[in-house]
Amino acid sequence: MTLNHKLLAIDEGRQRISLIDTTRPGAVWSRGLADFPLARDMQRLGPDRVLIGFERGFFELQISTGEVLASCDRWSDVTSVCRLDDGATLVAGYNLDGGGGINVLTLSGDLKLVRMARREGDYVRLMRRTAAGGYLLCMNDHILETDGALNAIRALRAPGFLHAWKAEQCADGTTLVSAGYGGFMARFDGQGELIATFGGVSEVPPEVAPFFYATFQQLDDGRLIVANWQGHGPDNGAKGRQLLEFDGAGRLLGGWSDPENISSLQGILIL
């Protein structure tokens, strides 16, 4: 199946972000990320605006042109960001307050620090809110669900989680997780029990070459789009299928790659 998507794509291997149409070769536009290293997280803010987190903070980009519209460069080891409906911005990462540990900071609309939550730990990747107002924190070999003060509620675990990248609650109360180097997707029930895994090396054709399942996005019809990152550096484009599409039951529908222009696809935002 040929994929038909328009998306923003972060190529970690070449440190670039591009606007991609999978039905045509090359990129609509592409720009380097030298000023915004380790860009990982993306959230659409409007028809033509996106929020992107990077190691030192976050910036806002015009989707149609790739122009940087605003930026906040303030910390080190930022891993995830989120804009709330009231205009506040959540910033997650390690040692953001200078005292060690994992932090989630809340900034007002004018970027003043108004709240800070902290817990012990030295590793976190993407962060997502829960329906109850807490957080899902990717903590390497497990996903930690917390309350709003980062107090632990439960841990979500599956054999093979290694640098688990993203966890997100679905409308039905289940939680989807990309397993990082595990190279599979996992689904948990509302109590944090593992329901199923899919997309692993034994369940997809050899040319897919699952290596590191990174950012994913679930579409309104239940389809799931997953970035299959293939390693650090500029020459990984031919190692496996870079973008995968699964149906709601976890069956692979198709894949896409542009090995000439993308090395290691890590962040995606389907438009």
Query: What is the secondary structure of 149-214 as a DSSP string?
Result: T--EEEEE--TT-BSB-EEEE-TTS-EEEE-BTT-SEEEE-TTS-EEEEES-GGGS-GGG---EEE
Report which residue type is found at 240: G
Give pLDDT, residue 142: 98
| Per-residue tokens: 36 | 């915004």
Give the dihedral sign, CA 101/134/271/206: positive
Burial class of residue 207 in the structure, from the number of CB atoms within 10 Å of its CB (0-12 exposed, 13-18 middle, 19+ buried): exposed
Residue 49: closest CA among 75, 23, 83, 15: 83
| Per-residue tokens: 215 | 């950012």
**DSSP code of residue 246:** E
Alpha carbon dihedral 164, 268, 38, 45, in 10-degree steps, equals -110
Model confidence over 5-64: pLDDT tens digits?
A: 999 999 999 999 999 999 998 999 999 999 999 999 999 999 999 999 999 999 999 999
Give pLDDT, residue 25: 87
Query: What is the secondary structure of 52-73 as a DSSP string?
Result: EEETTEEEEEETTT--EEEEEE
Give pLDDT, residue 12: 98
Give pLDDT, residue 2: 79
Query: pTM for the full model?
Result: 0.96
Give pLDDT, residue 56: 98
Q: What's the number of CA atoms in the CB half-sphere (13 Å) around residue 37?
A: 6
Give pLDDT, residue 1: 72
User: Over the chain (271 residues), what is each successive 10-residue block's mean pLDDT?
Assistant: 92 98 94 97 98 98 98 97 97 95 97 96 96 96 97 97 98 96 98 97 97 97 97 97 97 96 98 97
Model confidence over 214-231: pLDDT tens digits?
A: 999 999 999 999 999 999
